[in-house]
Chain A
Amino acid sequence: MAILIVAEHDNHSIQPATLSVLTAASEIAAHTSDTELHLLIIGHECQPVVEIAQGITGLSKILVADHQIHQYPLAENIAPLIVSLVQEQDQAQYQYSHILTSAGTTGKDYQPRVAALLDVAQISDIISVESADTFKRPIYAGKAIATVQSSDAIKVITVRSSAFAAIAFSASPLSEDNQIPVVELAAQADSGKSEFIKAELTQSSRPELTTAKVVISGGRGMQNADNFELLYTLADQLNAAVGASRAAVDAGFVANDLQIGQTGKIIAPDLYIAVGISGAIQHIAGITGSKVIVAINNDADAPIFDVADYGLVADLFDVLPELTAALKVKN
């Protein structure tokens, strides 16, 4: 038996989320006997990703589908590819018991399509592995945790990466004679049903939101987009990522991909600083995994203070410059 992990990458490097999915996969493997971990890399001119994958501990095989149709990940092309691997593999060699990927927007897009084509359920956003067929996942915006058991032969899963530590990873690949075997997969035909037109990606030199050690986010209390500069300046002192509440995104202060919460990104940094965010249930759903939560708000009754380890009731426009200055001195 084997577990198939579909890598999330940008054709150059592996997303850290995939390293967390590998931890979840190895936890599942620990509940079964004789299980291999296979990493599937789907992309175009993605050789750098394959080289990085050579440094990942615990992999038995790397499968590569390097083709022009996978330049941008389209569910219509990815899903049949994964399904063909599951259905056409030499069964004497290995059978896939689990297919895992991270619960980012790419995985959420194709993974349910894979499951439906295989006629199995898909288990979304697991936060813990109880056994090979039993997992915990949050429901109702994280207000409850459900333990679910799957009766399907193949478990198709997306993993909440912030709930699992990254697997051991070495920057230099294993020695020549110890390399992980790479299997090049045959090209598939384009579905012809969908076509990539363009991407407008947010450029940022700051750490990635979902893996940053420190995250500072702003809400409606920031009042306008320009005031977010105060957060960026503070973020620079802490090497932090900047996020936002839905209110701040809806008001146009920042781009939607910075939204933290039930319908945005789920994060679990060491330090989360919420500035001018009241703390609606849907926002709290995205931050409860944080080690330390700090809230800065001028409303002493804001619900964010119920989950904050340290709360400061004050005007953010006074506090932010002061905090930035204090950290500058320390640095």
Chain B
Amino acid sequence: MKILVAVKRVVDHKVNVRVKTDETGIETANVKMVINPFCEIAIEQAVRFKEQGSADEVVLVCIGPKEAEVQLRAGLALDADRAILIRTDEEVQSLDVAKLLHKVVQEQLPDLVLLGKQAIDTDNNQTGQMLAALTNMPQGTFASDIVFIVPNKVKVTREVDGGLVTLALNLPAVITVDLRLNTPRYASLPNIMKAKRKIITMVSPDSLGVSLSPRLTTLKVESPPVRQAGVKVADVADLVDKLQQQAKVI
């Protein structure tokens, strides 16, 4: 079984991002970039399937600038086998990401495509679902457990609003992973060294026959309203009194 894992390069989740003063976007110069945390969980899951013997090959695919090679190497150091970088310096929106991944799926013919449920920068939560639509595959979104069942099916437990729901999907399928699926490992030094020799194939969107056509224009990016500084109360009686008399919420 071949597993394709989509990986995004994003600003580290611990970075306190700042809006540019001209309100055109986020300050990303000299900011630490990492693999999107949800994508890391997807890689970990694919590698675990390889270790369990249910997968033979784990292929990473990323869309981004040349620098995204750093994140792909980091992913390969987690024991993925090879990677594809669709190189572009443009902003690529979810629909175009899904179209590019669709082409890669047509070429690579994976049995399973794993993605994170959302990227922590755009917070869209769309790409996996869009890819499933374009490839006409079933989708298992927000997965917290994935088990292969015979014949050619996968059982997915999903984190939904009221609790958990389990679906069975025909393979090939697209699954987007939630935080609870696993805890990603750290790359060992030997694996980091080994990852340097692994193959990253560079392609361009054009060579895949996809011309990027962004549908959304960002007119402005602004800081959210700042909450008024609050007060510290002395004790419980003071708190209850303030909530009743001042805030009038209880």
Contact = CB atoms under 8 A, between A and B. Distances in A.
Interface of A: 72, 74-76, 79, 104-106, 108-117, 119-125, 134, 138-152, 191-202, 210, 214, 238, 246, 249-250, 255-257, 262-263, 265, 270-271, 281-282, 288, 291-294, 305-314, 319, 322-323, 326-327, 330
Interface stretch (B73-81, B131-139, B188-196): B131-139
A294 B239 contact: yes
B219 A140 contact: no
Contacts of A330: 240, 244, 250
B231 A327 contact: no
Contact of B133 (A116, A256, A282, A288): A116
Interface stretch (B46-54, B63-71, B116-124, B199-207): B116-124
A312 B163 contact: no
A140 B11 contact: yes
A282 B249 contact: no
Contact of B120 (A104, A114, A140, A255): A140
25 contacts: A79-B133, A105-B159, A113-B133, A113-B139, A114-B133, A123-B216, A139-B123, A140-B26, A141-B13, A143-B223, A145-B224, A147-B218, A148-B216, A194-B167, A194-B169, A194-B170, A196-B167, A197-B155, A199-B164, A263-B179, A305-B232, A307-B227, A310-B231, A311-B230, A326-B236
Nearest to B219: A147
Chain B's interface size range is: 35 or more
Contacts of B128: 112
A293 B215 contact: no
B217 A115 contact: no
A145 B129 contact: no
Given A142-B224, A194-B168, A113 B132 contact: yes
Cβ-closest 6 pairs across A and B: A112-B129, A116-B133, A116-B130, A193-B138, A121-B215, A112-B126
Interface stretch (B1-9, B82-90, B92-100, B103-111): B92-100
A196 to B, nearest CB: 6
B72 to A, nearest CB: 23
Interface string B217-250: 1111111100111111101110110111001011
Contacts of B138: 76, 191, 193-194
B163 A202 contact: yes
Interface of B: 11, 13, 16-17, 19, 26, 93-95, 98, 117-118, 120-134, 137-142, 144, 155, 158-170, 173, 178-180, 215-224, 227-233, 235-237, 239-240, 242-244, 247, 249-250
A308 B237 CA distance: 18
A121 B138 CA distance: 20
A115 B96 CA distance: 12
B133 A200 contact: no
B118 A115 contact: no
Given A141-B120, A199-B164, A75 B139 contact: yes
A72 B160 CA distance: 12
Contacts of A146: 218, 220-221
